[in-house]
Amino acid sequence: MTATPRPPIWDVAIVGLGPAGRALAHRATALGSAVVSVDPLPRRSWTATYAAWEDELPGWLPRDAIATRTDRPAAWTTRHHTIDRTYCVLNTSRLQSILGDHCGTVIAGRAVDLSPTSVRLDDGSTLNAHVVVDARGTGDSPDLAQQTAYGVVVDPGTAAHALGGEAAVFMDWRRDNGTSPTDTPSFLYGVPLARDRFLLEETCLVGRPPLPISELATRLHDRLRARGVAVPSHADVERVRFAVEPPPEAGRSHSSDQVRFGARAGLMHPGTGYSVAASLLYADALARDLRDGSNARLWPWKARTVAALRSVGLRVLLDLGPEHVPEFFDHFFDLPPRLQAAYLSERSNLRGTLSAMGRMFLASSGDIRGVIFRSTLHREVR
């Protein structure tokens, strides 16, 4: 926290200091903007696990922000796949430290009203700025599709047994977790957090409503028990629950009104729940636009079109019958790596996104094609 005199009007005021807000404050300050940020608990430590594909990360991020790298992680659907990309788990505490350095003035407070140029706080004070950025995340609403997960942290030997010797497993949809083919599916995610720590996590990718965390805990222990793995009673636990869609009132900041950033602006991929890498990558672009007084160009038409296509993908995931989910991901991991990356990571690669979705449609069974068709039609008539 810094104690510098407050200017009568700030260049940028940022509301919300999760990874997206911190990244924008850090990059805008580096570009010379006078930045003030507001958060109810700005000193709270981040405890979530953040991960990304290495090619998604910006060049300005120091290498020690990455805790582990896994070349060509595995995936299990109806069969084994190898993903030809490098997967990284970020060092959460180091990332928070990096983004917390040189990030302007930080105020502990709760924003109760935002306009494009002012923030009113719960103590009655008002911050005025040339631009106010809403970076408060997606919030929590039962009306939004959510991802839930339950994980345990184990030693490398235990993880190797659970993962069949794989260095990391991005998704394992096999049903040795005590479920039947008609139950809502969940998958095992297994990644190294550090040299001596592995995360094994049972995940409901998206649901409306999602699977309860208690159900995922039962499934994880059933799965590990079936693989001959005993989890120590003192193991650290991770519980995850967040919306993968922005709230309806947030929308996307491609208009000239309220500027938004991070998951609040729709940077979260609705089909995976990943947003941190996109927020890190696009913080520079938004910071430059804010400094130069130009319109925020996070949502050119290609990015808006890709986002609409990804929303169709979310609808497909929500509407697929449980028995079809492993086959659906079979076809995804059969795509060439460049098309996997286009759909997962490249917000403005319209051609690649269309090609990936088109190939999956052609490879799918008639039942899955019907779901894709209905989901696309649903999107068009909304």
Global confidence as pTM: 0.92
Beta strands in 163-252 (DSSP E): 169-172, 187-194, 197-207, 237-243
Cβ atoms of 122 and 187 within 8 Å: the answer is: no
| Residues of the chain under the 70 pLDDT cut | 1-6, 249-256, 295-297, 378-382
- How large is the greatest C-alpha to C-alpha distance in the chain, in angstroms? 65
Under 8 Å CB-to-CB from 244, ≥6 apart: which residues? 138, 144, 145, 146, 147, 206, 268, 269, 270, 271, 272, 273, 314
| pLDDT value for 246 | 79
Q: Which of 258, 225, 263 is CA-nearest to residue 243?
A: 263
Cβ atoms of 316 and 372 within 8 Å: the answer is: yes
Neighbours of 293 (CB within 10 A): 9
| pLDDT value for 143 | 83
- Write down the mean pLDDT value for the chain: 93
| pLDDT value for 4 | 52
Q: How far apart are CA 224 and CA 62, in angstroms?
A: 36
Q: How far apart are CA 94 and CA 113, in angstroms?
A: 32
Q: How far apart are CA 224 and CA 294, in angstroms?
A: 53
Backbone φ and ψ for 39, nearest 5 degrees, come out as -155, 140
What are residue 71's DSSP bridge partners? 86
| pLDDT value for 370 | 96
Please name the amino acid found at residue 189.
Y
Q: Which of 131, 91, 154, 164 is CA-nearest to residue 293?
A: 131
